[in-house]
Chains A and B, each alone.
Chain A
Amino acid sequence: MIGPEIETLINLLSRMPGLGPRSARRAVLHLVRKRESLLLPLADALQTARDSIVTCTTCGAIDTIDPCTICADPRRDDSVICVVEDVGDLWALERAKATKGRYHVLGGVLSALDGVGPEDLSLAGLKTRCDTGLVQEVILATNATVEGQSTAHYIMDMLKGSDVKVSRLAHGVPVGGELDYLDDGTLAEAMKSRTEF
């Protein structure tokens, strides 16, 4: 019915998150129909990305330059490092303009289930950065999951000897959240971490 090149394209696209074989087929059909305005620019963009994407040797983020845009930005606060699990978390914090500090991407979390130990994360790099004397605060922005918080506690332990303040993100009621629909644990944590109003 269709050539192997198109079939390969459909197969590859169907492996993307959010896409199945049917939606991949639709996407390919759309690309083929808009060959000049979409397919060629997309192919070029993919080629360029493949050739230029690097992992920042300082923080572990993904960018097209090394050190990355954030690490190279002189307006960033050198005294604060925000530790995140993954590049996606870094992007989320950047979207929210949550911090003007630098970042450190761990590349995962400690997980007995997946066999991820401390040596599999970029913890040595974080320790080296903290030992430079420039850093005054490390914000642990790991997910509020058992694995994320276990990793945060591990890092807190690791940095015990350093002269660095360690903080973590608050746990509590999200904006737009209704108390009635929150899980008991989060509600109790929110009550415990209440602030003066």
Chain B
Amino acid sequence: MQWNAEGIVLSSRRHGETSVIIEVFTKEFGRCAGLVRGGTGRRLRPVLQPGNSVQADWKARLSEHLGVFTVEATTARVAAAMAHPKTLAALTSVCALLRFLPERNGYPRLYDTTCTLLDNLDDMDVWLPLMVRFELALLEETGFGLDLESCAANGSNLNLTHISPRSGRAVSAEAAEPYLDKLFPMPQFFRDARAAVSLEDVKNGLAITGHFLTVRLLHQLEENMPESRARLLHMLDDLTDF
């Protein structure tokens, strides 16, 4: 078994004295783990930081084996992200969330969204809404996507302003009226990709995706929300604007 693909390093864990076991998220093969010989060395350690992209060559005798990676750096994002607490928290949060994906299953759209997000970490106006889009894509790809096409109560597709925390479906303004304290206000950019995005929209968006990731995906996996995501939300609380 052998394949070669570009991927994002999700984690790197020391194995023995000179090797590391890394997880790489690729477009075609999804999340894959493998051993990198010499991964603790001076040349490879900076390359194998979570968030960097690498050209990975994976080899194993049988497909179910752990396999051995040979990697070469393609995009180094971590050094720039390290300078700012918010971007570092976003990067670690993205890598941690992707580790909840099933292994060896390709998610091309999610991969593209992730790359766009990580490549734009230098521009907060761009990456904050992309963070919400990434989490929406993660929910969708894992089978827990939100249904925002029509109102859960009356089937209307007009004036959809809220999201039900139970069904994950949109709710129209009229139907939402008696339950405003129980429903999530829906940011307009959830339905309209060209809508302007405010910081409030991003916070609402992250609250919605956070809720559904927790109750739908993480609950099933018996996992907790990554600490880095909580840290990112805490940092956003102090912000008043982008």
The reply to whether B17 and A146 form a contact with Cβ atoms under 8 Å apart is no
Chain A nearest CB: distance from B97 CB in Å? 11
The count of A-to-B residue pairs whose CB atoms sit within 8 angstroms is 66
The reply to whether B88 and A146 form a contact with Cβ atoms under 8 Å apart is yes
Size bracket of the B interface = 20 to 34
In the complex, chain B residues whose CB is within 8 Å of the CB of A171: 79, 82
The reply to whether B76 and A183 form a contact with Cβ atoms under 8 Å apart is yes
Q: In the assembly, what is the distance between CA of A113 and CA of B10, in Å? A: 10
The reply to whether B228 and A185 form a contact with Cβ atoms under 8 Å apart is no
Closest to A184 in B: B76
In the complex, A21 has a CB within 8 A of chain B: no
Size bracket of the A interface = 20 to 34
The digit string for A142-159, where 1 denotes a CB below 8 A from any CB of B, is: 001110011001101100
Which residues of B, 59-89, contact A by the 8 Å Cβ criterion? Answer: 73, 75-80, 82-83, 85, 88-89
The reply to whether B49 and A189 form a contact with Cβ atoms under 8 Å apart is no
In the complex, B213 has a CB within 8 A of chain A: no
Q: In the assembly, what is the distance between CA of A59 and CA of B231, in Å? A: 26
In the complex, A3 has a CB within 8 A of chain B: no
The reply to whether B77 and A185 form a contact with Cβ atoms under 8 Å apart is yes
The reply to whether A153 and B79 form a contact with Cβ atoms under 8 Å apart is no
Q: Which has the most chain B C-beta neighbours within 10 Å: A18, A156, A186?
A: A186
Q: In the assembly, what is the distance between CA of A35 and CA of B82, in Å? A: 52
Given known contacts A112-B227, A183-B73, A186-B79, A150 and B49 CB-to-CB distance under 8 angstroms: no
In the complex, chain A residues whose CB is within 8 Å of the CB of B96: 112
The reply to whether A188 and B78 form a contact with Cβ atoms under 8 Å apart is no
In the complex, chain A residues whose CB is within 8 Å of the CB of B45: 145
In the complex, chain B residues whose CB is within 8 Å of the CB of A150: 88-89, 92, 228, 231
In the complex, chain A residues whose CB is within 8 Å of the CB of B228: 112, 150
Closest to A174 in B: B42
Chain B nearest CB: distance from A156 CB in Å? 7
5 smallest CB-CB distances across A and B, nearest first, come from A185-B79, A185-B76, A153-B85, A184-B76, A149-B82
Beyond A185-B76, A188-B76, 9 additional contacts (C-beta under 8 Å) are A112-B92, A112-B227, A113-B13, A150-B89, A150-B228, A150-B231, A184-B79, A185-B52, A185-B78
A-B contacts, 15 of them at CB < 8 A, read A113-B11, A146-B50, A146-B51, A146-B88, A146-B91, A149-B88, A150-B88, A153-B89, A183-B73, A183-B76, A185-B46, A186-B46, A188-B80, A189-B80, A192-B83
